[in-house]
């Protein structure tokens, strides 16, 4: 009985903590024509696997340096070091390039200005120029 009540308490506490954090969303330019992307499509674009969008344009991923760690953990469950090692091997002889590194405001501006550009930020930062194509949740 005591065990059950303490377990319930723990869960309520965890929910409270998460709820306080801002939701991370993936955004593209409002005029890009892309309504919504799946988590896999987002992962393929950011990890350099497929960057072709449905309308044939190339997607241009931009890392928001402020939320990079949180983003990759939420997307593929990897630490920034692992992602770095991944890109190191690809850069060694491959042709695929890692995403461009920008701060949040620049990234937002670049996305708003460039069709095909894609980045992630806190939902509260997403303004009318961009459209949320994927919600990564808390």
Q: Which residues touch 83 (CB under 8 Å, ≥6 apart)?
A: 72
Total residues contacting other proteins (rule CB under 8 A)? 15
The answer to the question of residue 57 lying near other proteins (CB under 8 A) is no
Q: Does 43 bind other proteins (CB under 8 A)?
A: yes
Stretch that binds other proteins, among 4-12, 16-24, 88-96, 124-132 (CB under 8 A): 88-96
> What is the chain's length?
138
Query: Do 62 and 99 contact (CB within 8 A), yes or no?
Result: yes
Interface with other proteins, residue 92, by CB under 8 A? yes
Q: How far is CA 110 from the centre of its chain?
A: 15
Given the rule CB under 8 A, which residues bind other proteins? 43, 47-49, 76-78, 86, 89-90, 92-96
């Amino acid at each position: 009985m005591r065990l059950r009540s303490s377990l319930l308490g723990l869960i309520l506490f965890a929910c409270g903590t998460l709820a306080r954090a801002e939701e991370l969303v993936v955004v593209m330019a409002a005029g890009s024509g892309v309504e919504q992307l799946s988590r896999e499509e987002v992962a393929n674009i950011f990890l350099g696997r497929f960057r072709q969008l449905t309308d044939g344009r190339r997607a241009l991923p931009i890392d928001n340096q402020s939320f990079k760690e949180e983003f990759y953990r939420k997307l593929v469950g990897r630490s920034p070091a692992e992602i770095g090692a991944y890109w190191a091997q690809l850069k060694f002889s491959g042709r695929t390039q890692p995403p461009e590194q920008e701060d949040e405001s620049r990234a937002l501006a670049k996305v708003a200005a460039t069709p095909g550009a894609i980045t992630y930020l806190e939902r509260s930062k997403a303004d009318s120029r961009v459209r949320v194509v994927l919600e990564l949740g808390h």
